[in-house]
Amino acid sequence: MQVFRSETAGTVDLAEKIRIKPTGLAAVLFGLKDFARRKPVAFAGGVVLTAAILVAIFAPQIAPHEATDIGVAGKFLGPGGEGTLLGTDQLGRDIFSRLIFGARVSMYVGVVSVMIGITFGTLVGVASAYVGGWTDIILQRLIDALMGFPPIILALGLMAALGASVNNVVIALVVILVPGATRVIRSQALSIKELDYTLAARSIGAGPVRIIFKHMLPNVAATYIVLVTLTLGFAIVVEAALSFLGVGIPPDVATWGSMLELGREHIDKQGWMVVFPGIVIALVVFSVNFLGDGLRDVMDPKLRGR
């Protein structure tokens, strides 16, 4: 009797657990809490990334000055000089405000190019694996060739041809991000294609569109999310590098890369001009990489060591 009762109690307990399984916003919060507990450093990286995105969105509300305001205080001031937080540059522009507006460019270019590039790479990878045959062989050779260029060199070639502008930087980034994403997703899609559930779907007469959208894409979703975060840091670095070299974003826009270049020109007069953009770039890239690593470990252990 005792045993029987405890068994029922157990069932009730389980039912209770099932019933209170969180849904909607609660589920998201619960998932975040779980992630924070398992991967605290990666979670911190996510917090920094979120903060950077918020700063980018609300830049005009946060920044004390416009990025282009000349002479808000003296020139070449160190941190704290004349009421500025992080000092001023060679035209007396507020470095703190410029960093905040710089976040707009970095976050916009990084997020947009990664979303387009990885999404396109995923679609091509899945399609290439599904269709197979000559299409697959030719596509893979093309990807081999694209991967034969150091990414920054290919991006420089594209920028030289297209000219400096925000959207052209996005285009250049998409071109250098697609090959890697296609590779990774294709190899995963190839193994999914051979799995029983795909064969079963095909045997009951499912067409290619249904198989690709209902069976293959949902199963590469985890890899997709991991790739997006892991390449975001890389995209931010390449944008900063192009702007630093003066061929990325036009020089009248404040970006972290162009601030670094200005600081390099005046490095003997005011060292802080390179230190702050440097810290911001390193911190954001560091955070995004940690977040990507953590997501990979949690969602897709197979990708480890890639």
Partner 1 sequence: MQQYALKRIALFFPTILLVTVIVFVVMRLIPGDICLAILSDGEASFTQEELVNCRIELDLDKPLAIQYFDWIGNAVQGDFGDSLWFKAPVMEELGERIPVTVELTIVAMLIAVVFAVPLGIISALKPESWIDYAARIFTLAGISMPVFLVAILIILFLVHVFDWLPPLGYKPLWEDPGANLQQLIFPALALAFYEMAFVARVTRSAMMEIIREDYMRTARSKGLSESVVVFRHGLKNALLPVLTTSGWIFARLFGGTVIIETIFLVPGMGRILIEAIFQRDYTMIQAEIVIIAMFIVTINLVVDLLYGLLDPRIRYA
Site residues, partner 1 (CB under 8 A): 141-142, 144-146, 148-154, 156-163, 233, 237, 240-241, 244-247, 257, 260, 263-264, 267-268, 271, 274-275, 278, 281-282, 285-286, 289-290, 305
For partner 1, the closer of residues 178 and 211 by Cβ is: 178
CB of 116 to partner 1, least distance (A): 17
CB of 220 to partner 1, least distance (A): 23
CB of 287 to partner 1, least distance (A): 9
Centre a 10 Å sphere on the Cβ of residue 11 and count the other Cβ atoms it contains.
Answer: 10
For partner 1, the closer of residues 59 and 285 by Cβ is: 285
CB 99 within 8 A of CB 256: yes
Q: Comparing C-alpha atoms, which of 121, 43, 102 is closest to residue 243?
A: 102
For partner 1, the closer of residues 14 and 283 by Cβ is: 283
Q: For residue 110, what are its two tokens?
A: 């990084």
Per-residue DSSP letters for 61-81? HH-SS-TT---SS-SS--TTG
CB of 64 to partner 1, least distance (A): 26
CB of 114 to partner 1, least distance (A): 16
C-alpha 151/C-alpha 172 separation (Å) is 9
CB 124 within 8 A of CB 178: yes
Rounded to whole angstroms, what are the CA distances from 56 to 65, 99, 110, 151, 306? 15, 10, 12, 26, 31
For partner 1, the closer of residues 68 and 135 by Cβ is: 135
CB of 275 to partner 1, least distance (A): 7
Q: Comparing C-alpha atoms, which of 212, 215, 227, 199 is closest to residue 302?
A: 227
CB 290 within 8 A of CB 41: yes
For partner 1, the closer of residues 161 and 209 by Cβ is: 161
For partner 1, the closer of residues 35 and 290 by Cβ is: 290
